[in-house]
Structure 1
């Protein structure tokens, strides 16, 4: 089974590039099948990692950035991959 972990944070206004760089420097305790970093308006950063694991497996996740960098706690979601086209 493939599990996707999604990590999304919103930077303090004007610090989106800094949050993006911070996320890119974070290393995980393990190698995902794939890791993708995205950005969106309002200084949002999204990191998705894909793992060959059971849905409820213990998997490494990105940490919380410091409170000076983000406007709120990180949002996290876990999904089971069903189809790739």
Structure 2
């Protein structure tokens, strides 16, 4: 089964590049995911998606919370399973 973990944060106004850089530098513990992509969107939002060959409820490494002065709210996290 393929599981995708989504991590999304919104930077403090004007700090979008800082948040993007921070997210790109974060390493995940353990074996690497099958795939990892980083996106950005208006309003200084950053999205990271990782894909794993694992059961849906597996204990998988995730990106941490950035420092509070970098983001406007807690990180949003979602988990999805591939439907093919």
Q: Same fold (TM over 0.5)?
A: yes
Counterparts of 1:14 and 1:41, CA distance in 2: 11
2:76 aligned partner: 75
1:47 aligned partner: 48
2:25 aligned partner: 25
Counterparts of 2:53 and 2:47, CA distance in 1: 20
How far off its partner does 1:55 sit?
0.1
Aligned: 1:66 with 2:64: no
Number of aligned residue pairs: give it: 83
Deviations 1:44-78 (A, max 9, x none): 00000000000000000000000000000000000
How far off its partner does 1:81 sit?
0.6
- The CA RMSD measured in Å over matched residues stands at 0.4
List gaps (5 residues or longer) in structure 2.
Answer: none
TM-score, normalisation: structure 2 = 0.98
TM-score, normalisation: structure 1 = 0.97
Counterparts of 1:25 and 1:14, CA distance in 2: 19
